[in-house]
Amino acid sequence: MRLGSRISTVWSRRRAGAVLAGLALVLAGGAAVAVAPSGQAPAAASGSWSARTAGGMTTQLYVPSTAPTLGAGRALMVSLHGCVQTSANLRDGGNWAATAEARGMVVAVPAAPNGGVLLGCWDYYDSNHSRTSPGRHDDNLLQLVDDLLADPALDIDPDQVYLSGLSSGGGETMVMGCLAPDVFAGIGINAGPTVGTTAAQIGSVAVTQSQATSTCRTFAGSASAGFDSQLTSVIYGSNDTTVAPGYNTLNAQVMAGIYGAGSQSDFSLSGLAGNNTAGSGTLWSDGSGPRVSLIQNTGMGHNWPAGGGPGAAYVTTNSIDYPAYVTDFFFDNNRRVDRSTDPTDPTDPPTEEPTDPPTEPGLYCGAATNAEHEAAGRAHSFGSDPFNPFYANVSEDYMGQGDATVTRLQESSGGRFDVVTTC
């Protein structure tokens, strides 16, 4: 049964009143929208937008003209609008096309079914979402992914399915990240309340980290193993007066705790793309690299941070280019994609190594900065300093983050480099 036939029976007058109370706050935040002058052209792109029905929703779909840059097919980014915003707003002003072209990525911007719970809101509310019997927009989004994966013309890699959203779309993004961590390799939460909250609780943090963590784990149920390789990005503005800023830090902490990402560090926004890179960044990592990113963009209100393009309702260009940032963060740190650059041919007979292989003169062993290793052809990286992860060539040993990090590498036959403690 689709949502349209459920709203009248499931939503009581009391709950509708709570939704209206929350939406009053959303509407009050409308004055904070920052839109670029109408003469500012969006970034050039040679792909195209089209509308199609997927997951029972009218969905704006961008298909790039470029080839995918990672994995066995194209990545898919599903992007959810906020309350009092439309999928057309996000399509026209969200600045997705340029990043989609750069990465060969498909972007899907669905409209909340039947106009949303009310005024376009996604149904992220409360703690009774279920994977075994999904509803409340959850089933629509899961079916959307299935429908697009089933289209061979799109060539979507199931290991590169991502979800992002603003406000109620951000809240629904976290719900889906918890409900289906096996489906979504990365979630991007923009000014979204946390799981288990009501529409009337957006103005102040109403749950604890342990409560939100328990709700998220309960949503996942038997799919919890998907958390082992999932990523989370959270972003919000310092001038957001609609959704309590504390929810953003809470969401990042909840997901970092679930992932077991206990190493916390700061990074600068100064090198990021966009028209406003003021603010701060926090990164949570585990032993294999980054897992959770949190950005506070100074001066931004309750808006989608496009960082470029023409802007639109609840879309600001006075921000970092979040489409570029979140896509790079997911691509650079995706744990589900096979990154091997030299696959073996299964038809080749195995080779036997001699018992005592001869040593080769002139093989490297030494300590240097990650940037120096990369410049010398001993390592490679993804992203930009200071949060870019480095990997040793061939062995793919993790070398930590940042250009200035010092790592000791040892070379062996065939151009292989391994991270070692001594030479």
Give me the active site residues, please: 167
Per-residue tokens: 392: 């040793």
In sign, the C-alpha dihedral spanning 102, 62, 87, 184 is negative
Strand-pairing partners, residue 190, are 166, 235
Q: CA-CA distance, 421 to 423, in Å (whole number)?
A: 7
Q: CA-CA distance, 143 to 334, in Å (whole number)?
A: 23
Q: H/E element holding 132?
A: none
Pairing of strands 406-412, 416-419: antiparallel
* DSSP 8-state code for residue 350: P
Q: CA-CA distance, 287 to 271, in Å (whole number)?
A: 25
Strand-pairing partners, residue 379, are 392
Residue 249: closest CA among 194, 168, 175, 306: 194
Q: Which residues contact 24 (CB under 8 A, 6 or more apart)?
A: none
* DSSP 8-state code for residue 414: T
Residues 339 and 159: beta-carbon distance below 8 Å: no
Q: How far apart are the first and last CA of the chain?
A: 64
